[in-house]
A and B are shown apart, each in its own frame.
Chain A
């Protein structure tokens, strides 16, 4: 065993241990100065990220289906010492899906911590900030790497507590405490019900290790009631963490109040929650499909329904928001719907003939969307943070004209907004294309809803772009572009998005397919080409960009042939307001952001009035939705065969 092999064998533990160690040492180090603390925090994110990339390389080389185990406390780390048929240690199980999530978490955390260095400089209590940030990172890594359900619960709780403490970081604003309190209360109740589910499974089978539990569940002749109740509870709780409707209401509160780099970490934490949903469905309950197949199909349909609800409610509520970060948080909920939809379709047709036809493509799309979403949502939240940093306000109605001075931020915003709306050639389009084409074969109405939601996403980001960056320059927003470290943080995510956009098929074959292999234990294609084949179509970014380039040349040629001097100058460039002056007392007349889609929302007021009332911001209502959904899911699983 060479040193490299020992290193790889121990790397899952290192990936979690290093951020923990760095987190607890941060308050000591920060006594020595701010720059040292920043460097320490950066190292605390960089070192486990590099180890994660190396581990990812090793695992993905083999196709991702084999699970590597790391046992805490065992001498060689890889053998399972069994005592009387039971496993005695906490195990980390690393397969293709875990490594996929790990790479995602690393990239977003790196850009978040680099961005933080300039963003929070004006605040005090920074040692606690970086400590909690490293703890969140450790918790996220723990959630995706673990192979033990109680350990999953522990990391879940650590991430909830740290994130809610960080939400309240801007303690001068009282609303931060409201967002933090709601998120904490919601996550704690969810965690307790998760613990009940874990207790049920442990009490029934005596194992906590996912691998052993799944073979124990699969060893029955049919699924027992305990399994079904536990499944219903676990899916509800992890869907709450991921931010799916109807358990989504604490998410915009927390995302909107947290500082911008922390919202990027929130995104990674909710993706880890989504990972836990899929782990429960595919791995915990998926080892013997003759026993659990029916229930998994029902779970797939439930995930599809949750996905559709999340997509639609998320984007329609986002269209009416005035606060930039709450708007983006509702979009995060909407995009979670896409992932649930894609993987739900895959789960619903698992082990049937349609899986090879479109189920696998749907799963590939859903899982690819997880990575894309973390990247572009992280980038959008970081640009929102840059805007808030410069203007001091979160209200869209008060911003305007920033595009003239903040050109780089505007560029990153455009990249993120095009990606989230699924406009070619961005990576969002690639994953959404996979989802559209496969879900359309599953059910055409659902595919149509998915495309409509994309359209509304574009609409709401056009509104944000217009009200933030366009319009006349305002005199109260001085200072120009944001500091360089913030730009570097955004550039990391922007660069990765561009790479993913230009080579989507390579990303799919090297990162996403091993993840799908790991979840479904069905080997996929391994050919590498530059074209992404969706099963009924294909997409090649370079061909598209080439076509755009040629079209651009033709457009330029036509433009050059036109008359010169026909564009109005000076006074004529101002907006047409029936000849009226466009400024009153020096303040420009603009359409404020709340009124941009006035017509749309008033026309749909039959839908909007009840929905806005349902989002009442009352905590008891949040709990109602959670308990109702949990009860509904448990009843569906437990009693469906009685009904059918």
Chain B
């Protein structure tokens, strides 16, 4: 059960992130919601790395294997996936916040209600 706890947290984080993008109007809140979803998905990817049992490839042992009863292994690929995803998230958040700033400078827009000029 302990090993499945991060998955529940991921579900909660992604759900909260989706809720924010669906229902919140303030643009900064939407950007933060997207950022929260990104963090959730990164947590999901990292949690996939920790296994105990079969289906391994090039594992990284996290505890002493010799004599250990039920050791947990860590696969390296999800770490790479997560790092890539974090970098993509940084780029996206930076670009998004700069757009929000420019919208505020040009039109004074802070909410999605006002960001409705393109019909």
Contacts and interface: CB of A to CB of B under 8 A. Distances in A.
Q: Do A and B come into direct contact in the complex, CB within 8 Å? A: yes
B48 A184 contact: no
Interface in B1-56: 14, 17-18, 21-25, 27, 30-31, 34, 37-38, 41, 44-45, 48, 55-56
A195 interface: yes
A199 B116 contact: no
B34 A188 contact: yes
A161 to B, nearest CB: 6
Interface string A616-638: 11111001100100000000000
A88 B85 CA distance: 19
Given A188-B96, A617-B118, A620-B22, A177 B102 contact: yes
Contacts of B70: none
Interface residues of B, number: 47
Main secondary structure of the interface of B (DSSP, over half): helix
A253 B118 contact: yes
A290 B56 CA distance: 28
Interface in B36-91: 37-38, 41, 44-45, 48, 55-58, 75, 77-78, 81, 84-85, 88, 91
A616 B14 CA distance: 25
Contacts of A77: none
A174 B99 CA distance: 10
Contact of B112 (A195, A208, A619): A619
A623 B18 contact: yes
A164 interface: yes
Contact of B103 (A181, A188, A617): A181
Main secondary structure of the interface of A (DSSP, over half): helix
B34 A257 contact: no
B21 A161 contact: no
A84 interface: yes
Given A185-B30, A199-B41, A161 B112 contact: no
Given A168-B99, A196-B41, A620-B25, A206 B55 contact: yes
A184 B99 contact: yes
A165 B21 CA distance: 21
Nearest to A150: B81
Nearest to B10: A196
A32 to B, nearest CB: 28
B99 A618 contact: no
Contacts of B81: 150, 198-199, 202
A619 B30 contact: yes
B18 A617 contact: no
Given A171-B102, A620-B22, A157 B88 contact: yes
10 contacts: A83-B57, A88-B58, A180-B99, A185-B31, A191-B88, A199-B44, A199-B45, A617-B119, A624-B22, A627-B18
